[in-house]
């Protein structure tokens, strides 16, 4: 039973001990670090990203972008038609990509992985509006979305302070020890997939995150976002992923995030950059590349079709997004037919 939020345990005392970090990770399924990133680096990034969001209309005009005061009338999330218009502009920010390659982070990841680290080029920014809690990211394992290897690690970090009420990340310690991909079902929220945790006992762990903090976990650890219950503050965080450079990577992790929802090329991402050092860095990698396994999302789509036929509003919204994104695809046509039939 998950009845109480417990506090994440810091691993800062073991930062120089690779064996101890690996041991704790094997036991708990996560490592939490206070100020793994230089807070000044994170706050500069916050200014860069939120300035773009304010120009895109997501923040209240005339407010300090560093405060992240959201224009509630512009609420949207991944999958919504308007989301990529601003998200793609955020994605082009050079400092956003550079942060994932910060030397302090790469050094920790090398200790965890025990070999040469490959940072995924598909960095992700999570931009979450307040008063939008139905869209909170549900409980899931990352493998269903990012695939490749079970030993792919997520490094989640808030871009600024992130107290619990702003909707930080929570993990279920030890849940990775199932050593398999659990059954995921359709859900609203980022990724559209959720795990039923009724058979997984324990308490969720989180913390009032501060700028520079980082939470690292492998792709089988159960985790979720907490709801953003603030009145008007946007939550901004980073999802960066790392693996052994010799392990397989899924092909879609070599593309810009959400490019399959709304086209975005690396040429467009790089167009305004002043430093070429990270452009196409992954093309020198020799490790295997795997095709994306669409079975997880195909199953969720079929479940959404069935739920929509019974009037489920979350499923209807999911299908409406698919119709808007790609009406001529097989799924787009099936979703349109289901929506018409469920009216």
For residue 240, how many other CB atoms are within 10 A of its CB?
Answer: 25
pLDDT recorded at residue 200: 82
SS3 170: strand
pLDDT band at residue 3, thresholds of 50, 70 and 90?
A: low
In this prediction, residues 275-297 reach a mean pLDDT of 96
Give the pLDDT mean for 177-196: 95
**Cα dihedral: 12, 112, 176, 155 (round 10):** 70
User: 5-290 adopts what CATH topology?
Assistant: Jelly Rolls (2.60.120)
Q: What percent of the chain has pLDDT over 90?
A: 94
Looking at residue 2, its pLDDT comes to 43
- Give the pLDDT mean for 295-306: 97
H or E, element range at 314? helix 313-325
Q: Where are the domains of the chain?
A: 5-290, 294-343
Average pLDDT over residues 101-119: 97
The model's pLDDT over 222-258, given as tens digits with 9 standing for 90+, comes to 999 999 999 999 999 999 999 999 999 999 999 999 9
Whether 279 has a pLDDT exceeding 90, the answer reads: yes
Residue 270 is predicted with a pLDDT of 98
Cβ-Cβ contacts under 8 Å for 9 (sequence gap 6 or more): 28, 32, 205
Taking residues 59-64, report their average pLDDT: 98
Which DSSP letter does residue 70 get?
Answer: B
Going by pLDDT thresholds of 50, 70 and 90, the confidence category of residue 1 is very low
pLDDT above 90 (res 341):
no
Residue bearing tokens 């695939």: 147
Beta bridge partners of 237: 126, 158
Q: Which two tokens stand for residue 219?
A: 């792709």
Average pLDDT of the chain, as a whole number:
96
The DSSP-derived string for 101-165 is T-HHHHHHHHHHHSS-EEE-S--EEEEE-SS-GGGS--SB-THHHH-S-TT-EEEEEESS-B-GG
pLDDT of 71 > 70? The answer is yes
In sequence order, the 6+-apart residues with CB closer than 8 A to the CB of 158 are 42, 168, 209, 210, 211, 213, 235, 236, 237, 238
Q: Tokens 């559209």 correspond to what residue?
A: 192
- Inter-CA distances, 236 with 11, 52, 128, Å: 23, 12, 7
Query: Tell me, what's the pLDDT at 133?
Result: 95
Q: Would the pLDDT of 195 be above 70?
A: yes
């Amino acid at each position: 039973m998950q009845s109480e939020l417990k506090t994440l345990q810091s691993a800062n005392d073991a930062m120089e001990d690779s064996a101890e970090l690996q041991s704790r990770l094997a036991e708990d399924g996560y490592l939490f670090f206070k100020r793994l990133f230089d807070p000044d680096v994170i706050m500069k990034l916050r200014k860069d990203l939120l300035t773009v969001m304010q120009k895109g209309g997501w923040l209240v005009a005339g407010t300090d972008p560093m405060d992240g005061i959201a224009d509630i009338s512009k609420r949207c999330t991944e999958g919504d038609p308007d989301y990529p218009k601003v998200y793609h502009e955020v994605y082009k920010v050079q400092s956003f990509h550079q942060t994932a390659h910060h030397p302090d982070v790469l050094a920790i990841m090398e200790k965890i992985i025990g070999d040469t680290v490959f940072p995924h080029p598909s960095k992700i920014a999570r931009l979450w509006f307040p008063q939008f809690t139905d869209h909170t990211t549900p409980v899931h394992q990352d493998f269903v979305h990012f695939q490749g290897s079970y030993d792919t690690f997520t490094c989640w970090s808030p871009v600024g302070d992130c107290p619990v009420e702003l909707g930080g990340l929570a993990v279920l310690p030890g849940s990775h020890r199932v050593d398999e991909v659990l059954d995921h079902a359709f859900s609203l929220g980022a990724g559209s997939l959720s795990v039923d945790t009724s058979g997984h006992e324990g308490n969720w762990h989180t913390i009032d995150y501060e700028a520079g903090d980082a939470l690292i976990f492998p792709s089988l650890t159960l985790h979720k976002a907490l709801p953003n219950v603030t009145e008007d503050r946007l939550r901004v965080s980073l999802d960066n992923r790392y693996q052994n450079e010799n392990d397989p990577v899924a092909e879609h992790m070599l593309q810009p995030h959400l490019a399959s929802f709304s086209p975005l090329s690396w040429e467009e991402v790089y167009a305004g950059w002043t430093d070429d050092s990270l452009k196409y860095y992954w093309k020198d990698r020799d490790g295997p590349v795997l095709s994306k396994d669409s079975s997880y999302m195909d199953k969720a789509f079929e479940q959404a079709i069935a739920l929509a036929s019974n009037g489920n509003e979350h499923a209807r919204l999911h299908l409406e997004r698919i119709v808007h994104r790609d009406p001529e695809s097989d799924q787009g046509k099936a979703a349109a037919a289901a929506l018409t039939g469920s009216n």
